[in-house]
Amino acid sequence: MDQNGAVVTRVKPLPKIKKTKKSQQETLKYVKQHKWLYLMLIPGLMYLIIFRYIPMGGIIIAFQKFNPFSGLSGSEWVGLYYFKMLFTSPDFPRVLINTLGISMLSLIFYFPAPIVLALLLNEIKHQKYKRTVQTFIYIPHFISLVIVASLTYQLLNINDGIINQVVQMLTGKTINFLGKPEYFRGLIIGQSIWKETGYGTIIFLAALAGVDVSLYEAARVDGAGRWKMMWHVTLPAIRGTIIIMLILRVGSILNTGFEQIFLMKNALNSSVAEVFDTYVYTKGIINAQYSYSTATGLFKSVVGMIMVLSANKLAKKAGESGIY
Amino acid sequence: MAEQVIRSNKNKIKGSKTDCVTNMIIYSVAGLAGLGTLLPFLYVLAGSFATEQELTEKAFFIIPTVISTNAYKYIFETGEIFNGLKNSIFLTVVGTAVNMFFTTTFAYPLAKSHLRGRKFFLNMVIITMLFNGGMIPTFLWIKEIGLYNSYAGLILMVAISPFNMIIVKNFFQELPAELEEAARIDGCNDLQIFTKIVLPLSKPVIASISLFYAVGHWNNYFGPMIYLKDTHKETVQIVLRRIVLLAAGVQADGMDFDIMGTPPDKAVKMAATVVATVPILIVYPFVQKYFTKGVMVGAVKG
Amino acid sequence: MKKFKKSITLILALALIISMFAGCGKDDEGSKGSNSGLNETENASASDENGLAQISMMTFDFEGSPLSGDHAQEVVTTMEEHTQTKVDFSWVPSDNYDERLGLTLASPDDMPMIIAVPSMTSAITSAAEAGAFWDLNDFMFDSEKYPNLSQANQNVNKSLTVNDQLIGVYRARPIGRLGMGYRADWAEALGIDEPETIEDLYDMMYQFTYNDPDGNGEDDTYGLSLCKYTGPLDVVQTYFGVGNEWTEVDGKLVPVHQTPEYMEALKWMKKMYDDGLVYADWAVRDTATWQDDVKNGECGIFIDVLDGSRRIWDYFVNNEIPAVDGTSYELATMNLVGTINDKTLATSGYNGFFVITKAAKTEEDVAACLNFLDKMSDDAMITLSSYGLEGIHWQKDENGNLENLVAGDAVAAKAFAALNQTVAYIPNMKATDIGPEMTERLIIEEEVKASNVDYAVFNPAAAYIVNSETYSLSGANLDEIIDNARTQYISGEIDEDGLQAAWANWETQGGQAVIEEINAQHN
């Protein structure tokens, strides 16, 4: 009985029907019927096995005291030695926090940027203007990080950086963007946004191109204005793409990329600038410690895997298609 | 009826005022983005034609006061760059074609939710995205199967990018199911559906993923560096990186080899950036046209 | 049961695919063979038709297309005749040499006989411990067979000794390379003499900053040019009697940051920063700006390798940068000073070394390799690799000096320049019989470098560091802790307590273990 006294029949949810194991014959019939689908899978499968899975055996290095000359078979087995070293290192908490910090900020600020820009560009009616802007914003992706770092220095340094000259005019002081730890994360995110947003719009623009134009027509007939159209037609159309990108992005949560951070890191901001990739570089590559870097890489991969699976589950719960 | 028309007209008029402001904002933000990305590149371009002195003294300029082509002369002098460009073009074109073949053929079956074993295959792909064996094991294996020092190896090694493949798969998934049903009624099998219907409709995603692969090949420095042995097989990125390092006097380890004269260091870095970037930049405008709306119109009806 | 059968089928299918490709790989053995085949046949026989020894060698390629173009064949033939050796070269581009080195070590069947190694890393030490290289102690000091190599400096050799095995022939570099250069015209304008003590140095820095040495009425100059590369600070430290990374105190080796002189040096540097004698943001300045700041007249002092100061001087001369008014100089000029307080920092004395791998199977092979390296340090070969062939790339002028005919011609130089990566430069860095006429600046540079040798401060632990296991693993991190702490202290980010905390951190992160490991070897 509900509040109004009406009789409400609670419908019992149907018991989950266990999938009966399809017999082999049915599967074979399916394969025969869709033989082209399976044939199409073969090249990719061969690729995966030959070029990805077989070399993956090399992960074993993480559990060995690997040295190239003795090779995989000749190097001593040390089990979890390097993992222990990583987790018990006094630097580990700091490196973890730094990495997560940059990753989180990146997720909040850098991830939406291409989406917003793509939506914005999509609204531009003047084709020539749109195309021109599109071509320009694409350029920074190709400029090497080394040049970007030196351009950043030229813009922001306290001696003759243009930005600081403006700041000085306004506030009478200069800001040591490049030296103070509190600015480091913003600097990195800002650089990433400048460099990669343009290139990142491509995938969203392609998705937007696939939106059925008739949907816009229908919306217009219903009296929808610009914002309503965006909210009800455009965004849902690219929602799938956004979710996918998000899930995949989440898998690289412990990856910050090495080169960019390395170039902007210095003695003054190293307390926030030291991330996994630079830490492994100093410890791993300079000293040629293959095992240590492989162990750290494995750790990052496992975390990434967990993140991807969780994100995918969440997406599925929210009704999205997810990766699977 | 009349009220409806009036109402919709009212919306149009209201819309046009806020529309105008919104448009202004949109156009100026876009314009700012465009400028913000163009100006630094113009500086690099200008710098590549500037003298060492000017680059040392000025922090930023768009037009050099003294034009000097020394940097470009230095880069083109030995002629290696042309070989590098040739190799890079080969790698990019062939590589992208191979990529698209492997990627689309693998993505299509996975886009079918009824495929038996779908989850298994997808898991296979996702795992490779996150785990890999490392440089030495991969290298040793490539050598073992005889693909060292060959473009075949270089291209096959990266035949599928799981990330790109998933994007393509999802695009295929979003195509209306009615298309497949209609085609099946017409007697098409899976392969024909793929080639005759799905691919033609997938132009936007094919265009953008091809672009991603192409850029990946063009910018690929590490792959050719490790897996190509002969100097005549070098790609343009390798040639340029070496030129830049040499120009910066990195080799100066105590021995005074003033054989080469004093190279124009900064301008060379900029000229190298220009040479490495311009070819692939030219490609984009051609690909842009596939990102236009209306690709889907008439798809179902047709 | 059925599921089991299904998985078996799958696995068998996969195995089939894999074996298909394994078989494919075997078929490709032919092509694979042609790549490495050369190495194999070279290794098999120690000499070929003409009685020339055959060896294989992997070394750096800096310019691309090594030994190519016109006359390259003649260069190679000349080299072969002189050394009586045919060499199968593996030229590896310098920028990814470390990765390629690791990969080469990972393929013991394919290794060349001689490998040029940039520095001692744990990959090398562990390979050495696994027996990858020959112990040259048994071979190199035969002064009849190897008149050049046997003169190798024993101190430097200690740095190449792993587990009592001498594994390398080092590539010599001047020991006295580090020193100071300053704007001579500025000094004259301000009436300052060449600095000899640390007080002189400070005074010069101060006056260069505040007394308007370039006479333009603007407060736009600094004393010392400093950037994020902290090498100059290590040099300045020696002026205070601080050692070179490690020093001996009461028979024990300690890291220099644990000595009182270090703190004195740091306080001086902090004062230098606080008084504004260097850029306020020096710690973030890119290394590209370092020399430029002196070149464009912003800084007056440059502390690093002396050829760096000399190159700045060259820049002034080549670009006719005028000196400041009212001095006896026409063009801007750098003065080169070797020592302050009679001290300067010594370099390690070498830059990379050659190892002889077990790919050299017999002692004859080893002899062939050492012979090649020895002959390449002869005057004739030094000249060949630096300047090319007589009559084609250079000729003798009236004074008997070498006149470079192809200076600035990068293409012509490709015929021979790559060879200088095979020269050990033991015992001479330059050919003794003939050389180009040196500019006045070069002559000065050489003199100062030579005079530095007696005053340069060495690192007494250099030989032990390579054998310290903890340093192999964490060395770079440990060094960074000390270095960062120094920078932060000078820039005022941390105070003395912060320094102590950093040093304590250094100890717990492995520094203490390194001290013990080093001293265990010292005794």
pLDDT tens digits along B33-63: 999 999 889 999 998 998 877 777 777 788 8
Max Cα separation, chain C? Answer: 101
Which residues in chain B touch residue A37, judged by CB atoms under 8 angstroms apart?
A: 108-109, 112, 115, 190
Res C493 pLDDT > 50: yes
What does the pLDDT look like over B99-140, one tens digit per residue? 999 999 999 999 988 888 899 999 999 899 889 878 888 998
What does the pLDDT look like over C246-283, one tens digit per residue? 999 998 999 999 999 999 999 999 999 999 999 988 99
- Calpha distance A31→C296 (Å, rounded): 74
**Residue C16 confidence class, pLDDT cut points 50, 70, 90:** very low
Give pLDDT < 50 ranges for chain A: 1-2, 5
DSSP C55: E
Residue C505: other Cβ atoms inside 10 A: 16
**Residue B197 confidence class, pLDDT cut points 50, 70, 90:** confident
**Is the separation of the CB atoms in C301 and C180 below 8 Å?**
yes
Which residues in chain B touch residue A146, judged by CB atoms under 8 angstroms apart?
A: 269
**Is the separation of the CB atoms in A64 and A78 below 8 Å?**
yes
Rounded average pLDDT over C398-422: 84
Is the Cβ of B273 closer than 8 Å to some Cβ of chain A?
yes
What does the pLDDT look like over C290-342, one tens digit per residue? 888 898 889 999 999 998 899 889 889 888 889 988 889 999 999 999 999 99
Res C357 pLDDT > 90: yes
Residue of chain C whose alpha carbon sits nearest to that of B223: C96
The pLDDT value recorded for residue C5 is: 41
The pLDDT value recorded for residue C343 is: 92
The pLDDT value recorded for residue B248 is: 63
Is the Cβ of A29 closer than 8 Å to some Cβ of chain B?
no
Residue of chain C whose alpha carbon sits nearest to that of A65: C126
The reported pTM is 0.82
Beta-bridge partner residues of C350: C172
- Contact between chains at C442 and B256 (C-beta distance less than 8 A): yes
- Contact between chains at C413 and B266 (C-beta distance less than 8 A): no
Res B265 pLDDT > 80: no
Max Cα separation, chain A? Answer: 83
- Contact between chains at B245 and C96 (C-beta distance less than 8 A): no
**Is the separation of the CB atoms in A3 and A10 below 8 Å?**
no
Mutating which of B255, B257, B265, B269 best tests the C interface, going by the most C Cβ atoms within 10 A?
Answer: B255
- Calpha distance B41→B273 (Å, rounded): 10
**Is the separation of the CB atoms in A91 and A282 below 8 Å?**
no
What does the pLDDT look like over C127-179, one tens digit per residue? 898 889 999 999 999 989 999 999 998 888 988 998 889 999 999 988 899 99
Max Cα separation, chain B? Answer: 91
| CB nearest B242 (choices: C93, C307, C407) | C93
- Calpha distance B105→C303 (Å, rounded): 61
The pLDDT value recorded for residue B189 is: 85
φ/ψ of A268, rounded to 5, equals -85, -30
Beta-bridge partner residues of C224: C301
Residue C241: closest CA among C215, C268, C214: C268
Which amino acid makes up residue B108?
Y
- Contact between chains at B215 and A141 (C-beta distance less than 8 A): yes
φ/ψ of C113, rounded to 5, equals -75, -40
Is the Cβ of C196 closer than 8 Å to some Cβ of chain A?
no
Both tokens of B66, joined, read: 């003294």
State the nearest Cα–Cα gap between C158 and chain A, in angstroms: 20
Res C30 pLDDT > 70: no
What does the pLDDT look like over C58-94, one tens digit per residue? 999 887 788 888 899 999 999 999 999 999 999 988 8
| CB nearest C177 (choices: B140, B146, B254) | B254
**Is the separation of the CB atoms in C94 and C352 below 8 Å?**
no
Rounded average pLDDT over B223-227: 89
The DSSP-derived string for A25-50 is HHHHHHHHHTHHHHHHHHHHHHHIII
Mutating which of A67, A289, A293 best tests the C interface, going by the most C Cβ atoms within 10 A?
Answer: A67
Which residues in chain A touch residue B111, judged by CB atoms under 8 angstroms apart?
A: none
The pLDDT value recorded for residue C12 is: 42
The pLDDT value recorded for residue A66 is: 86
Kind and range of the H or E run holding C254: strand C252-255
Both tokens of A211, joined, read: 């939106």
The pLDDT value recorded for residue B226 is: 87
Rounded average pLDDT over C409-423: 86
The pLDDT value recorded for residue A103 is: 93
| Mean pLDDT, rounded, of chain C | 85
Residues with Cβ within 8 Å of residue C366, at least 6 apart in sequence: C134, C139, C356, C360
State the nearest Cα–Cα gap between C513 and chain B, in angstroms: 30
The pLDDT value recorded for residue C20 is: 38
Helices (H), chain B: 2-48, 52-57, 70-77, 80-111, 118-130, 135-144, 151-157, 162-174, 177-185, 190-192, 199-201, 203-219, 222-227, 236-247, 265-288
Res B258 pLDDT > 70: no
- Calpha distance C300→A23 (Å, rounded): 86
| Mean pLDDT, rounded, of chain B | 81
Cα distances (angstroms) measured from residue A239 to each of A204, A320, B174 = 10, 9, 11
The pLDDT value recorded for residue C399 is: 84
DSSP A157: -
Residue C316: closest CA among C431, C182, C208, C429: C182
Kindly compute the dihedral angle of the four CA atoms of residues B139, B140, B143, B148, in this order, to the nearest 10 degrees.
Answer: 20
- Contact between chains at A124 and B26 (C-beta distance less than 8 A): yes
